Amino acid sequence: MTVIDKLLAKRGCHTLESSLSSYFSLRNMFVLTCCVSLLVLLCLPALDSTQVGSNDKPIIGILAQDLSKPPENKTSYIAASYVKFLEAAGARVVPIRINQTDKEYRRLFDSMNGVLFPGGGASIVSSGYQRSAKIFYEMSLEAKQRGDLFPIWGTCLGLEQLLLLTNGVSLLTRTNTSDVSLPLDFTKEAKGSRMFRDFPAELMDALALEPLTENSHQWSLPMEAFNRSNTLTSFYKVLSTNTDGKIEFLSTMEAFDYPIYGTQWHPEKNAFEWRKPYVEHTPLGVRLTFYMAEFFVGEARKNLHRFAAKDEESQALIYNFSPVRASAESVFEQIYYF
Ligand SMILES: *[C@@H]1O[C@H](CO)[C@@H](O)[C@H](O)[C@H]1NC(C)=O
Ligand SMILES: *[C@@H]1O[C@H](CO)[C@@H](O)[C@H](O)[C@H]1NC(C)=O
Ligand SMILES: *[C@@H]1O[C@H](CO)[C@@H](O)[C@H](O)[C@H]1NC(C)=O
Ligand SMILES: *[C@@H]1O[C@H](CO)[C@@H](O)[C@H](O)[C@H]1NC(C)=O
């Protein structure tokens, strides 16, 4: 609910109180409707509630991932665009390095307010990335049972990792989607979804009509395979699909009962990556980056974990590392190496 909506609802309720004894004019009917809607909003389950201003200092982890050709003394990386994506919406970032102990991951989980699984080329079956993703995914599910909402976002490889963690068996298929920007084919669930319901109509229209979403993946989950998996259909709500001309695949999803979200496309690239000619840097493309980031950081604001000590927080933050200019062959502008 926007501030304006809230003020209106509040004023409406007050008016109702003071005029209950008077006749039921059309206005009072309207006011009553406002109050009832407010009550309905207040009664929605935890996942849908807006806990305004609960955490204004959200800290979000980004998974580092294994390098196929590591520079000397380095083992993993994070593309800087994911860091900028979250920072642009008011979050601070902690790199989650691969091959830490379970205990170290648990301590980070208890200290942070969400985690992002970025895109890339690591194995989703066996890698440092896969191991840390699995640990955070399981901790998030377990936390939800205690009423502790710990949001997870998966982009591209991250979405594929989420699907595999949920389903246990990979249902991915090769698609011709390596280098293309596409409009989203929204499902009828999109408009009322947690992810998109507060998006401006102008941006939703642009998303549906213009090729704003950058796709650079060789694998996708066909809708036909998704539909056949009871595990997936009962866990995830599909918000959009796309097609490579032959195969219709899942492109945006949110979990029904968990604060878990994924896009097969890259919302961070419109504002922050310049290496591919088909990335849309138009004003609406760039707004897409910020609205997606704001949504996920908003989810993290509902989480109240924090570091036990300022020192520990300070040492964990990405500010202790510097990104470097990526090589000419890279798809990224800047990379953090660990
Ligand atoms: C890698 O680590 C070794 C041992 O600490 C050090 O001597 C060497 O200079 C490092 N190489 C680079 C490129 O930093
Ligand atoms: C990290 O762990 C994975 C398996 O979990 C292993 O394949 C990889 O070699 C390890 N990487 C490093 C740098 O230790
Ligand atoms: C793959 O898609 C591109 C358009 O994005 C098209 O130009 C190309 O012909 C397609 N390749 C195959 C093998 O279908
Ligand atoms: C998958 O299921 C949805 C909802 O039941 C349906 O609209 C869609 O056509 C199905 N898609 C495929 C490819 O089976």
Contact 263, 159 (CB under 8 A): yes
What are the CA-CA distances from residue 247 to residues 220, 224, 293 (Å)?
Answer: 9, 9, 29
Q: What is the pLDDT of residue 46?
A: 61
- The answer for residues whose C-beta is within 8 angstroms of residue 57's C-beta and 6 or more apart is 92, 306
Q: Is 266 a residue of the active site?
A: yes
Q: What is the pLDDT of residue 29?
A: 47
User: Which ligand 4 atom is at minimum distance from the Cα of 227?
Assistant: 1
Pocket of ligand 2 contains residue 128 by CB under 6 Å = yes
Pocket of ligand 2 contains residue 123 by CB under 6 Å = no
Closest to 198 in 3D by CA, of 292, 301, 96: 292
Pocket of ligand 1 contains residue 72 by CB under 6 Å = yes
Q: Whose CA is nearest to atom 14 of ligand 3?
A: 176
Q: What is the pLDDT of residue 42?
A: 45
Distance 227 CA to ligand 4 centre (A): 6
From the list 34, 217, 266, 305, the catalytic residue is 266
Q: Which alpha helices (H) appear in 21-169, and where do they start and end?
A: 26-43, 80-88, 102-111, 128-145, 157-167
Q: What is the pLDDT of residue 43?
A: 39
Tokens standing for residue 128: 């440092």
In three-state secondary structure terms, 180 is strand
Distance 223 CA to ligand 4 centre (A): 7
What domains can be seen in the chain, in order of their start residue?
A: 3-46 (no CATH), 59-325 (3.40.50.880)
Distance 337 CA to ligand 1 centre (A): 14
pLDDT tens, residue order, the chain (338 aa): 444 444 444 444 333 333 333 444 444 444 445 444 544 444 344 676 555 458 999 999 999 999 988 889 999 999 999 999 999 999 999 999 999 999 999 999 999 999 999 999 999 999 999 999 999 999 999 999 999 999 999 999 999 999 999 999 999 999 999 999 999 999 999 999 999 999 999 999 999 999 999 999 999 999 999 999 999 999 999 999 999 999 999 999 999 999 999 999 999 999 999 999 999 999 999 999 999 999 999 999 999 999 999 999 999 999 999 999 999 999 999 999 99
Pocket of ligand 3 (CB under 6 A): 176, 180
From the list 156, 217, 281, 305, the catalytic residue is 156
Q: Whose CA is nearest to atom 3 of ligand 1?
A: 73
Q: What is the pLDDT of residue 214?
A: 98
Q: What is the pLDDT of residue 49?
A: 54
Tokens standing for residue 322: 């510097």
- Cα distance between residue 140 and residue 148, in whole Å: 8
Task: Summarize the chain as % helix, strand, coil (round to 5).
Answer: 40, 20, 40
User: Which ligand 1 atom is at minimum distance from the Cα of 72?
Assistant: 13
Q: What is the pLDDT of residue 47?
A: 75
Q: What is the pLDDT of residue 20?
A: 37
- Cα distance between residue 177 and residue 247, in whole Å: 10
Looking up tokens 């493309």, which residue turns up?
A: 285
> Within 13 Å, how many C-alpha atoms sit on residue 177's CB side?
31
Tokens standing for residue 17: 């109180």
Contact 231, 167 (CB under 8 A): yes
Distance 254 CA to ligand 4 centre (A): 17
Distance 226 CA to ligand 4 centre (A): 9
Give DSSP secondary structure letters for 261-326: EEESS-TTHHHH--S-TTS--SHHHHHHHHHHHHHHHHHHHT-----SSHHHHHHHSGGGS--EEP
